[in-house]
């Protein structure tokens, strides 16, 4: 079994970052809810307790039973996790007299201790808490402090149990990666053998064992996730994989034909299905973002149900679902993380659809998917494509969706994306697109007054889509693209640029 670190999630906004940082050092980890601790098998090398929006003093705060973990596995509590351990084993947690949110600096760190080895006094850390560990038990020993928090880091004598008040998983904790490496590699003894090649080998073997000689239907989109999922499945089951690329009428300009063409040399069995009229009919009159997402998801399921019946003995539906999709749609494995938005490819299938779901990428972040794709020798033309939402332009048109609006937005989007490529900026952007706004504005063209639509351009930089910053594109480029859009796309007389980060905004507007 693959060695792993178990992360118990108490609902922190940073829990997924803990997983990312651990995977960056080639160690596999999984997130599970604090109240659904899995079987503690020998391949689990250590356990991490996440932060939480709760206070340990809250009546309804999480109170996990750690009797099978503490003292038996290396255990690291982060923020709430550290407070819970301190409060549960002889210490006291009280409201902070000075709350710490954001940057702080270590005024003391024991650079010789196994957890904090290599860290330095003055190192910047990231705090996010309204309580503080006021007192610790006699067998707890301090190994880190800030000016305002004496017990910022501790260990328990004679056992491998540790707690830190700050968040090492956040980039702003400048030596946080050192601490996590110390815990995962030096203390837990992980061998750092979870690589893209090892993932491919283990996943292909698992797919073979799970699917056997069954046939799988897979929805392709032309994007990174579904392409990598398709190649993994093809490597496992060969001709028993039947790929379907659905034109939902909400794709980018000319994308249906270009995507089908891109798969010709990959040896995949791909069928194109034009179902655009079905999607437009289902979307008619809908303006609420969640209702639109659910409508698009419903038609996708209906189309795949129809197509699956044309493949004799098809028993599985393959999907390119990745970790952020799961995290943003539902609490991780039924846990306490907050739902942000639904994804059409997450949450199972209706009872009438007699297919089981197979999701080979469900526990990978986007950059991990790309590394796996590179290991599979998939072309950069596919691997380096920007992410594109499953519901397509349907969630980039605010308000109701019509064919006319889609055609306008396709033209705007094509000018923007092609412009990024022409100016060598495409690779500097993680995701880009245009949004059709539900407003009209007054303009002037020639000597005439216009009252036409407005669009917003969106471009962000990110690593995995969990957080993102708006991309600082050159003013000259934005001016050129704005001019092209207004001159070439009939019906648009105003172009804006979105300078919101995630959080508080999301990458997509819906």
What would the pLDDT profile of 404-445 be if each residue is shown by its tens digit? 999 999 999 999 999 999 999 999 999 999 999 999 999 877
Least confident among 301-305, 314-318, 404-408, 451-455: 301-305
Can you give the pLDDT at residue 338?
47
Alpha helices in 376-507 (DSSP H): 380-383, 403-422, 475-488
Contact predicate 363/403, CB 8 Å: no
pLDDT band of residue 309 (cuts 50, 70, 90) is confident
| Whole-angstrom distance, CA of residue 433 vs CA of residue 458 | 5
pLDDT band of residue 154 (cuts 50, 70, 90) is very high
pLDDT band of residue 100 (cuts 50, 70, 90) is low
Can you give the pLDDT at residue 332?
41
Q: Is the pTM of this model over 0.85?
A: no
* Given 3, 169, 328, 411, the catalytic residue: 169
Report which secondary-structure segment, H or E, holds 255: helix 255-262
CA angle at residue 428 from 423 to 429, to 5 degrees? 100
Least confident among 240-244, 349-353, 482-486: 349-353
Can you give the pLDDT at residue 330?
43
* Given 79, 188, 190, 471, the catalytic residue: 79
Active site residue 453: no
Count of residues making up the chain:
510
**In percent, how much of the chain has pLDDT > 90?**
68
Mean pLDDT, rounded, for 203-225: 92
Least confident among 162-171, 263-272, 372-381: 263-272
* Given 29, 100, 167, 307, the catalytic residue: 167
Report which secondary-structure segment, H or E, holds 298: helix 289-308
Instruction: Report the 10 Å Cβ neighbour count for 238.
Output: 10
DSSP E strands in 447-510: the ranges are: 448-462, 468-470, 492-497
What would the pLDDT profile of 398-411 be if each residue is shown by its tens digit? 999 999 999 999 99
Active site residue 167: yes
Q: Over 70: is that where the pLDDT of 343 sits?
A: no
Can you give the pLDDT at residue 347?
46
Contact predicate 169/23, CB 8 Å: no
Can you give the pLDDT at residue 340?
39
Mean pLDDT, rounded, for 163-169: 94
- Indicate the average pLDDT of the chain: 90
Task: Kindly state the tokens that stand for 303.
Answer: 């189309």
The residue ranking higher by pLDDT, 95 or 500, is 500
Active site residue 135: no
């Amino acid at each position: 079994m693959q060695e792993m670190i178990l992360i118990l999630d108490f609902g922190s906004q940073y829990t997924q970052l803990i997983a990312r940082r651990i995977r960056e050092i080639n160690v596999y980890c999984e997130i599970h809810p604090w109240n659904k601790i899995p079987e503690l098998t020998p391949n689990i090398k250590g356990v991490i307790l996440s932060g939480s929006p709760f206070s340990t003093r809250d009546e309804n705060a999480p109170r996990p039973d750690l009797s099978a973990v503490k003292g038996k596995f290396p255990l690291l509590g982060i923020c709430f996790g550290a407070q819970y351990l301190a409060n549960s084993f002889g210490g006291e947690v009280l409201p902070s007299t000075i709350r710490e949110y954001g940057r702080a600096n270590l005024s003391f760190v024991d650079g010789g201790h196994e957890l904090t080895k290599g860290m330095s006094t003055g190192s910047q850390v990231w705090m996010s808490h309204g309580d503080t560990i006021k007192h610790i038990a006699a067998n707890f020993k301090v190994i880190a402090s800030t000016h305002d928090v004496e017990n910022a880091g501790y260990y328990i004598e004679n056992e491998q149990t540790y707690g830190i008040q700050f968040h090492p998983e956040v980039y702003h904790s400048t030596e946080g990666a050192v601490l996590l490496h110390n815990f995962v590699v030096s203390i837990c003894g992980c061998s750092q053998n979870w690589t893209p090649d090892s993932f491919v080998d283990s996943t292909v073997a698992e797919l073979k064992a799970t699917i056997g000689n069954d046939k799988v239907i897979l929805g392709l989109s032309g994007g990174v996730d579904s392409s990598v999922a398709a190649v993994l499945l093809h490597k496992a089951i060969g001709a028993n994989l039947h790929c379907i690329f659905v034109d939902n009428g909400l794709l980018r300009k000319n994308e249906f034909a270009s995507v089908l063409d891109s798969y010709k040399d990959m040896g995949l069995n791909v069928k194109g299905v034009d179902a655009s009229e079905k999607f437009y009919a289902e979307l008619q009159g809908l303006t609420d973002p969640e209702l639109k997402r659910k409508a698009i998801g419903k038609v996708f399921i209906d189309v795949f149900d129809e197509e699956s019946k044309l493949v004799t003995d098809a028993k599985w539906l393959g999907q390119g679902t990745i970790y952020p999709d799961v995290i943003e749609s539902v609490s991780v494995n039924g846990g306490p993380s907050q739902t942000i938005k639904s994804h059409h490819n997450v949450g199972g299938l209706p009872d009438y659809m007699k297919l089981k779901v197979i999701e080979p990428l469900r526990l990978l972040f986007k950059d991990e998917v790309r590394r796996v794709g590179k290991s599979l020798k998939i072309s950069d033309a596919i691997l380096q494509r920007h992410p594109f939402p499953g519901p397509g332009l349907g969630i980039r048109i605010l308000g109701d969706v019509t064919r006319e609006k889609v055609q306008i937005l396709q033209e705007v989007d094509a000018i923007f994306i092609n412009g990024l490529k022409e100016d060598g900026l495409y690779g500097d952007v993680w995701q880009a697109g245009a949004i059709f706004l539900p407003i009209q504005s007054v303009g002037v063209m020639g000597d005439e007054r216009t009252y036409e639509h407005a669009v917003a351009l969106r471009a962000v930089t990110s690593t995995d889509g969990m957080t993102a910053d708006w991309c600082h594109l050159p003013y000259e480029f934005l001016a050129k693209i704005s001019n092209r859009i207004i001159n070439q796309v009939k019906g648009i007389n105003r172009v804006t640029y979105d300078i919101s980060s995630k959080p508080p905004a999301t990458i997509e507007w819906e």
